[in-house]
């Protein structure tokens, strides 16, 4: 099993541009989570899906952020327009029962 | 609501020293408890877990015991190595939502 796969590993973009982060969960896992990690705020849960349905998006910081899960093997997190304060490492994780498996993250830098 | 409190870091130790990282929790019901480790530049990896009171999780020389009476899940290792340098996160599972509630993380630095 290749684990949770995220792409890209690194993204540098200019303020105002649209950014799309991608995640492929582990096959058979039915829950998917998007986290953001910064030095100031630590790990923040942005949104999570169960069986491809968004269950809780209360952590999404504002309307510039959106997430989709069109099928069980793919999810995207989109930021439009991006701002410098969105710079962080974004992690995707998937789970079936107890405990999560995390991807390696996408380091986003907005300049 | 459910929450996890970890000791603040960084924890700085010499190689072969004994390690304890404290973790306490607040939760309704009987959550599962976890320790995750994050090495530099990587995602979080599950280190160990315990699913009920008095269970002991162990892996790679690390141990933690689920103590319901003290609502604690302290991480211990008898002899740390330089390669153990990382950030350690304590977490509990919210039984109603399947969400993991993470602590703020504790950075461990081990010097030769």
> Which tens digits make up the pLDDT trace of A25-48?
999 999 999 999 998 888 999 999
Residue A97's pLDDT is 78
Q: Is the pLDDT of residue B96 over 70?
A: yes
- By a Cβ cutoff of 8 Å, what residues of chain A touch chain B? 4, 31, 33, 42-43, 45, 48, 50, 55-56, 91, 93, 95, 98-105
What tokens does A58 get? 């209360």
Residue A1's pLDDT is 65
**Mutation site, A32, A90, A98, interface B, largest B CB count within 10 A:** A98
What tokens does B7 get? 């000791």
- Measured in angstroms, the CA of B43 and the nearest CA of chain A are apart by 4
For residues B16-25, give the mean pLDDT: 97
Q: Which stretch of DSSP H or E encloses residue A68?
A: strand A65-71
For residues A78-96, give the mean pLDDT: 96
Nearest CB to A42; choose among B93, B99, B104: B104
- Measured in angstroms, the CA of A50 and the nearest CA of chain B are apart by 9
Residue B97 pLDDT level (bands cut at 50, 70, 90): confident
Do the Cβ atoms of A55 and A48 come closer than 8 Å? yes
How many Cβ atoms sit within 10 Å of the Cβ of residue A78? 15
> Which tens digits make up the pLDDT trace of B28-47?
888 999 999 999 888 999 99
Q: Is the pLDDT of residue B8 over 90?
A: no
CA distance A67 to A20: 9
- Measured in angstroms, the CA of A18 and the nearest CA of chain B are apart by 24
């Amino acid at each position: 099993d290749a684990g949770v796969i995220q792409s890209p590993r690194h993204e540098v973009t200019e303020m105002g541009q649209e950014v799309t982060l991608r995640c492929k969960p582990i096959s058979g896992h039915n829950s998917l989570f998007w986290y953001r990690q910064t030095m100031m705020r630590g790990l923040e849960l942005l949104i999570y899906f169960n069986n491809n349905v968004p269950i809780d998006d209360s952590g999404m910081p504002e309307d510039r952020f959106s997430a989709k899960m069109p099928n069980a093997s793919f999810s995207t997190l989109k930021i439009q327009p991006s701002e410098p304060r969105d710079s962080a490492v974004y992690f995707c994780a998937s789970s079936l029962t107890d405990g999560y498996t995390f991807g390696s993250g996408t380091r986003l830098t907005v300049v | 609501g459910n929450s996890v409190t970890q000791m603040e870091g960084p924890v700085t130790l010499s190689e072969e020293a004994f390690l304890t990282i404290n973790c306490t929790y607040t939760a309704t019901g009987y959550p599962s408890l976890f320790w995750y480790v994050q090495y530099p530049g990587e995602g979080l990896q599950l280190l160990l877990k315990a699913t009920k009171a008095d269970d002991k999780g162990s892996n790679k020389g690390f141990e933690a015991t689920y103590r319901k009476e003290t609502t604690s899940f302290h991480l211990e290792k008898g002899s740390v190595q330089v390669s153990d340098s990382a950030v350690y996160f304590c977490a509990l599972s919210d039984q109603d939502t399947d969400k993991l509630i993470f602590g703020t993380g504790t950075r461990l630095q081990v010097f030769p």
